[in-house]
Amino acid sequence: MGLEQKLGNMGVVTTTLEQAVNWSRTRAMWPLLSGLACCAIEMMSAQASHYDMSRFGMELMRASPRQSDLLIVAGRVSRKMAPVIRRLYDQLPDPRWAIAMGDCASCGGVFNNYAIVQGVDEVIPVDVYVAGCPPRPEGLIHGILTLYDKVQRESITTWK
Amino acid sequence: MSKFLLSVVQTMIERFELEERTFRDETTLMVSPENIVEVCRTLHDEFDFNMLASQTAVDYWPQEEPRFNVVYQMHSLPQNVYLCLRVPVPGKNPTVPSIVEVFPNANWHEREIWDMFGIRFDGHPDMRRILMPYEWEGHPLRKDYPLGYEEVQFTFNFDEIDLRKPYVKE
């Protein structure tokens, strides 16, 4: 009521810097175009037209880590690949997030042995874990929306 | 066995004193490590076995001596026959001459056998690990190599395992 409503009628909106920046970060978050194994197929199909991810802001996937915000670890990470994933994550500029997609990235999945890293959170800090083997495209989209909720709740003191 | 394969096997047995085994449709010749390059060269040049279909190794520890068997599957494309060769290798300092000059596609097969079993190949130009990371110690597919699994985290032991798990913070 009052001032804000009158301003709204004139086309002016007031908000806090925190809410505005968090809103803009969620509305155009571009993931890195890289997948490792079977979950990558589901990630591709989530990006394609049937289960479009562009309607949530992920208009395209960037091939270069320097130009993307989000690293979706889609697939099993072997011991040989772990330093590579770490380097990719280090090359993402702030603000950056990571989603562990699928069972193998969350906890090692079916592969409980010497060659597969048991959960990519031994290598990079993960924000959202998506379960499934592989998770359906809707499951991945649910994980992305959960990440968006998490980003919306970020506070101005924890930004980097 | 086709006539061609029969003749090949007869000639090889006479020339190199090999032992032959047959199981269903597969014919196997047991070759000793010193002879393997000669045998492969003869098969390649004289008998038209122009494709090395696969090269692997088996570990029979502790049941059998010698411990390893390197298995070569030869395929003759013009005659459409398969022939299997087995080379028994002992467990101490296992070495076999490399057949890379005869069949160049053995390059990566032999690297994989070195990586997984520890069998060295003399004369291989580039002997290093191909599947495991480069500084890995141990040869995973040997029978005395541990499985390397970690304890499964259920709800009743979730907290104990959570303390020990190597999470990374940043």
Q: What is the pLDDT of residues A120-146, one digit of tens each?
A: 989 999 999 999 999 999 999 999 999
B119 found inside a domain? yes
Q: Phi/psi class of residue A109: alpha, beta or left (left: φ > 0; alpha: ψ in -120 to 50)? A: left
Asked if pLDDT for residue B39 goes beyond 80, the answer is: yes
Interface test with B, best of A77, A113, A129 (most B CBs within 10 A): A113
Can you give the pLDDT at residue A30? 93
Would you state the pLDDT for residue A75? 92
Residue B165 has pLDDT above 90, yes or no: no
Please tell me the predicted confidence (pLDDT) of residue A1. 60
| B152, part of any domain | yes
Whether residue B122 lies inside any domain: the answer is yes
Say which of A113, A122, A125 has its CB closest to residue B148.
Answer: A113
In a domain, B127, yes or no: yes
Binned at pLDDT 50, 70 and 90, residue A87 comes out as very high
| Cβ <8 Å between A112 and B149 | yes
Residues 100-159 of A with CB under 8 A from B: 107-108, 112-115, 118-119, 121-125
Domain carrying residue B20 = 3-164
- Residue of A80, A121, A123 lying closest to B133 (CB–CB): A80
Cβ-contact A13, A49 below 8 angstroms: no
Give residue A132's region: left, alpha or beta (phi > 0; psi -120 to 50).
left
Q: Is the pLDDT of residue A39 over 80?
A: yes
Instruction: Work out the average pLDDT over B38-66.
Output: 89
Would you state the pLDDT for residue B151? 83
Q: Which of A107, A114, A121 sits opposite B168 (nearest CB)?
A: A121
Helices and strands in chain B: count of H runs, count of E runs: 4, 7
Choose, out of A94, A118, A124, the residue to mutate when testing the contact with B (most B CBs < 10 Å).
A118
CA distance B144 to chain A (A): 14
Whole-angstrom Cα distance, residue A110 to residue A129? Answer: 16
User: Domains in chain A, start-ordered, CATH in brackets?
Assistant: 29-152 (3.40.50.12280)
CATH label of the domain that carries residue B63: 3.30.460.80
Asked if the structure places residue B48 within a domain, the reply is yes
The pLDDT score that the predictor gives to residue B91 is 85
pLDDT of A9 higher than 80: no
pLDDT for the residue B95: 92
Question: Which neighbouring-strand residues pair with A100?
Answer: A73, A129
Q: How high does pLDDT run on average in chain A?
A: 90
What is the Cα–Cα distance from A134 to A36, expressed in whole angstroms? 12
> Which of B150, B153, B154 to mutate against chain A (most A CBs within 10 Å)?
B150
Are A122 and B166 within 8 A, CB to CB? Answer: yes
CB-nearest partner of A121 from B148, B153, B167: B167
**A112 contacts in B (CB within 8 Å)?**
149-150, 152
Interchain contact, B168 vs A113, CB within 8 Å: no
Residue A3 binned pLDDT confidence (cut-offs 50, 70, 90): confident
Residue identified by tokens 């499951």 is A139
The CB-side HSE value for A69 (13 A sphere, CA atoms) comes to 17
Q: Rounded CA gap, B18 and A54, in Å?
A: 66
- Identify the CA nearest to A124 among candidates A84, A68, A66: A84
Predicted local distance difference test score (pLDDT) of residue B160? 86
Choose the closest CB to B150 out of A112, A121, A123.
A112
Q: Rounded mean pLDDT of A86-93?
A: 94
pLDDT in tens, A67-77: 999 999 999 99
**Residue B133: which of A79, A123, A124 has the nearest Cβ?**
A79
Question: Which residue of chain B comes nearest to A115, CA vs CA?
Answer: B132
Mean pLDDT across chain B? 89
Look at B168 and A80 and tell me if their CB atoms are within 8 Å. no
The answer to whether the CB atoms of A125 and B136 lie below 8 A apart is no
Q: pTM above 0.95?
A: no
* pLDDT above 70: percentage of residues in chain A: 98
pLDDT in tens, B117-153: 999 999 999 898 999 998 898 899 999 898 888 888 8
> What are the pLDDT digits (tens) for A10-27?
777 888 999 999 999 999
* Three state DSSP letters for A12-45: CCCCCHHHHHHHHHHHCCCEECCCCCHHHHHHHH
Would B170 be classed as within a structural domain?
no
Give the rounded percent of residues in chain B with a pLDDT score beyond 90.
51
Using DSSP bridges, classify how beta strands A97-101 and A70-74 pair: parallel, antiparallel or unpaired.
parallel
Determine which of B137, B155, B168 to mutate to test the interface with A (most A C-beta atoms within 10 Å).
Answer: B168
- What total number of domains does chain B contain? 1
Query: Mean pLDDT across the stretch B26-55?
Result: 91
Q: Is position B169 within any domain?
A: no
